[in-house]
Amino acid sequence: MVSVPRLVIAAPASGSGKTTVATGLMAAFAERGLDVSPHKVGPDYIDPGYHALAVSSSPARSGRAPRPGRNLDAFLCGPERIAPLFLHGAAGCDLAVVEGVMGLYDGAAGQGELASTAHVAKLLRAPVVLVVDASSQSRSVAALVHGFASWDPEVRVAGVILNKVGSDRHEELLREALDGSGVPVFGALRRVRAVRAPSRHLGLVPVAERRAEAVESVAALAERVREGCDLEGLLALARSAPPLPDQPWDPERETASARGGAGPQPGGGAGPQPGGGAGPGPGGARPVVALAGGAAFTFSYAEQAELLTAAGAEVVPFDPLREERLPPGTAGLVIGGGFPEVYAPELSANGPLRAEVAGLAAAGAPIAAECAGLLYLARSLDGEPMCGVLPAEARMSERLTLGYREAVAVGDSSLAAAGTRVRGHEFHRTAVEPGAGPEPAWGLVRPERRAEGFVRGGVHASYLHVHWAAVPEAAVRFVGRCASPLSGSGGGGR
The DSSP secondary-structure symbol of 328 reads: B
H/E stretch holding 18 reads: helix 18-31
Provide the CB-side half-sphere exposure for 424 (13 A, CA).
25
DSSP string, 207-230: GGGSHHHHHHHHHHHHHHHHHHB-
Distance CA 280, CA 479 (A): 9
Which residue is catalytic, options 77, 93, 371, 387?
371
Binning the chain into helix, strand and coil, the percentages to the nearest 5 are 35, 25, 40
Residue type, 416: A
H/E stretch holding 61 reads: none
List, in order, residues 6 or more apart from 30 with CB less than 8 Å away: 36, 54, 55, 56, 57, 58, 60
- Whether the CB-CB separation of 81 and 72 falls below 8 Å is answered with no
H/E stretch holding 332 reads: strand 330-335
Q: Has 371 been annotated as catalytic? A: yes
Instruction: Name the phi and psi angles at 215, rounded to 5.
Output: -60, -45
Angle at 73 between CA 68 and CA 77, to 5 degrees: 100
Distance CA 349, CA 343 (A): 10
Query: What's the distance, Cα to Cα, between the start and end of the chain in Å?
Result: 49
Of 258, 297, 230, 248, the residue nearest 91 (C-alpha)? 248
Instruction: Name the phi and psi angles at 483, rounded to 5.
Output: -75, -15
- Whether the CB-CB separation of 84 and 251 falls below 8 Å is answered with no
Catalytic residues: 371
